[in-house]
Structure 1
Amino acid sequence: MAVTQPAVSRLISELEAAVGFALFDRVRGRLVPTPEGKLFFREVEASFIGLDRLRVSAANIRDHGTGSLRIASLAATGSILIPAAVRAFRQNNPRTRITLHITSSPAIRNGVADGLYDIGIAADEIDRSGVDTQVFGTFAGLIAMPEDHPLARQEVVTPDMLDGQPLIGLASEDRARHRFDAALAEAGVDPDYVIETPSSATVCELALTGDAVGFVNPLAAREERYPGLALRPFSPRVPFKAYLLFPPNSQKSTLVKAFVAEIMGQRNRSSQQGPMV
């Protein structure tokens, strides 16, 4: 220890005075730990083990991405894109614990504002005050139908083709639904909604089982995911808009930045499979 014997004796005496009990008995010129000294040693040893664990945890966080991410997503991105981003992210961050909630855009906004989520992906109908936002993307809506439907023979579906056609509509508060209805109204078409649902994935499932067709978010609609489904562009272009949400006035952690980069990469790959700006 490179410490002289008198110095060690002085340090022991000072420590005994500080803790208020004897750490050693002097037996025939040797120091023998007292029962209290042994208990105290175990506590000190546990503290040093704790410090070592903290060092290991810090190294893991730095080198291997140990930590946690709390993510909330609307159903459209939560069905295909976010699971793909999670899979890719975990390849580089296998020790990161991820919680993923699929819920409504207003609930996502409120959860991010309250600090319940580190990242949120929500549609544009939310109130963006009280959260930090980043544009995620704008995606051209598609018309979903069975592949044997007469409209499946068209390369592009226009409003006049939907006149009198049973429709599966998104929820009435959906901003993309509003824009779609406005495009139909401008063409003089009164939409005939026979079913309404908040989820584009559900629209696709329903379109497979009947004569009604639906307007869907391309992020949730893939023909290979729904065998027998046909997807056609709608003209005029009607966009779905989405935002990334973050807790207000907070620094993004390394994990958050890495996951956002993965989400954006997945978005760019999705753009190759459907119209997007």
Structure 2
Amino acid sequence: MNAPRLYLLGITSLDRASSLNHRQIEIFAAVMRAGTASKAADQLGITQPAASRALAEMERGLGFRLFDRIRQRLVPTPEAWRLYKSIEASYRGLDTIRAEAARIRDQGTGGLRVASLSLLGSTLVPRAIGRFRLKHPDISITFHVLLSRDVRDLVASGQFDVGLAADEIDLTGVTHQLFLSPQAMIAMPTGHPLAEKQTIRPTDLDGHAFIAYVPEDRARQRLDNIVADAGIKLNIAVETIYASTVCALVTEGVGIGLVSPYVVSTLDKSRVVLRPFEPAVEVKTLLILPPDKPKSLLVRDFITALMESR
């Protein structure tokens, strides 16, 4: 700890105040608390003469007496008590700083704000939050499930700390990395004619009612290119935004649809059959963060929880 500034003592010479060193202040404070130089020396693990020399050097540097020697006892002067109060206040301030540093280390800088696209909003992200809360049980989390473009806007503006969004978003104004790119599968109602096949290919889709994502969806665009190369056109019965909606419509027998493996756990296996699709259609999800903003301890720990939950 740096030696406290002694403005309150009315010292006009900063040179004298700056002659103090940490060891002198430590010994002086120990003597004030213990009452004698010998007890203070024992507490500090030094000899009594060494403590006395340090006090004498401190008095010379300050230019005023700290103790009167009465009957072989050190009696603090009024100036010593005033100085001691200043030192104790400095120690309390240092203790406060240490406590705050420990709190930041253990709890981070406050709450955590997370936004996710629907695809992962009821599966992977809740698992990650559970992992994160094991390490940070006292941290409050705001979690929103939104359209990918809204996730992007909240993160780009700095209102949210972490976002998961589909890869069709505008990437300007965010820091991003590929988070997931699983191969999509074809979901169909139980008893559907295609359920007899082990692998679904583009030509197999011809003529079957299809539940598609909206045209701006990148997975939809990849599928459109694949079926166009095969010389067929999808028989689109419904277009929707959410993977969960595709699954619900498939369950009700409306048609077949392309789904990510990350929604499989939400499906009623007694009413839905899943089959691989070839050639592969990747469903890419991006991890996005606010631009030019260092990651806090909380954000880093949450990203770790996300990675471990994949």
Common fold by TM > 0.5:
yes
Please tell me the root mean square deviation across aligned C-alpha atoms, in Å.
2.6
Residue 193 of structure 2 is matched in structure 1 by 150
Map 1:121-270 → 2, pairs under 5 A: 121-222=164-265, 227-267=270-310
Moved more, 228-237 or 55-64: 55-64
- Measure how far apart 1:263 and its partner are: 0.9
Cα 1:86/1:252, change in 2 over 3 Å: same
Query: Aligned equivalents of 2:93 and 2:81: distance in 1?
Result: 28
- Measure how far apart 1:6 and its partner are: 2.5
Q: Runs of 5+ in structure 1 lacking a partner?
A: 16-44, 268-277
- Higher-strand-fraction structure: 1
- Is the CA contact 1:71–1:100 (under 8 Å) kept in the aligned structure 2? yes
Residue 133 of structure 2, aligned match among 90, 98, 101: 90
1:140-188 deviation line (CA, Å, top 9, x unaligned): 1111112222222211111111111001111221011011111111111
Residue 116 of structure 1 is matched in structure 2 by 159
Q: Runs of 5+ in structure 2 lacking a partner?
A: 1-28, 33-65, 67-75
Residue 6 of structure 1 is matched in structure 2 by 78
- Measure how far apart 1:121 and its partner are: 0.8
- Is the CA contact 2:247–2:267 (under 8 Å) kept in the aligned structure 1? no
Cα 1:50/1:80, change in 2 over 3 Å: farther
Amino acid across the alignment from 2:110: G
Aligned length: 233
Cα 1:211/1:165, change in 2 over 3 Å: same
Give the greater-gyration-radius structure (CA).
2
Amino acid across the alignment from 1:93: H
Moved more, 48-57 or 175-184: 48-57
Residue 40 of structure 1 is matched in structure 2 by none
- Higher-helix-fraction structure: 2
Structure 1 segments of 4+ aligned residues over 6 angstroms from their partners: 8-11, 48-54
- Is the CA contact 1:158–1:235 (under 8 Å) kept in the aligned structure 2? yes
1:55-82 deviation line (CA, Å, top 9, x unaligned): 5454233135573111111111112111
Query: Aligned equivalents of 1:9 and 1:84: distance in 2?
Result: 58
Alignment TM-score, normalising by the size of structure 2: 0.68
Query: Aligned equivalents of 1:148 and 1:49: distance in 2?
Result: 74
Query: Aligned equivalents of 1:191 and 1:266: distance in 2?
Result: 34
- Is the CA contact 1:64–1:93 (under 8 Å) kept in the aligned structure 2? yes
- Is the CA contact 1:200–1:221 (under 8 Å) kept in the aligned structure 2? no
Map 1:60-75 → 2, pairs under 5 A: 60-65=103-108, 67-75=110-118
Amino acid across the alignment from 2:278: S
1:72-93 deviation line (CA, Å, top 9, x unaligned): 1111111211111111111111
Amino acid across the alignment from 1:124: D
- Measure how far apart 1:5 and its partner are: 5.0
Cα 1:223/1:118, change in 2 over 3 Å: closer
Query: Aligned equivalents of 1:243 and 1:149: distance in 2?
Result: 33
Query: Aligned equivalents of 2:110 and 2:231: distance in 1?
Result: 54
- Is the CA contact 2:107–2:298 (under 8 Å) kept in the aligned structure 1? no
Alignment TM-score, normalising by the size of structure 1: 0.76
1:112-147 deviation line (CA, Å, top 9, x unaligned): 110011111111111112111111121111111122
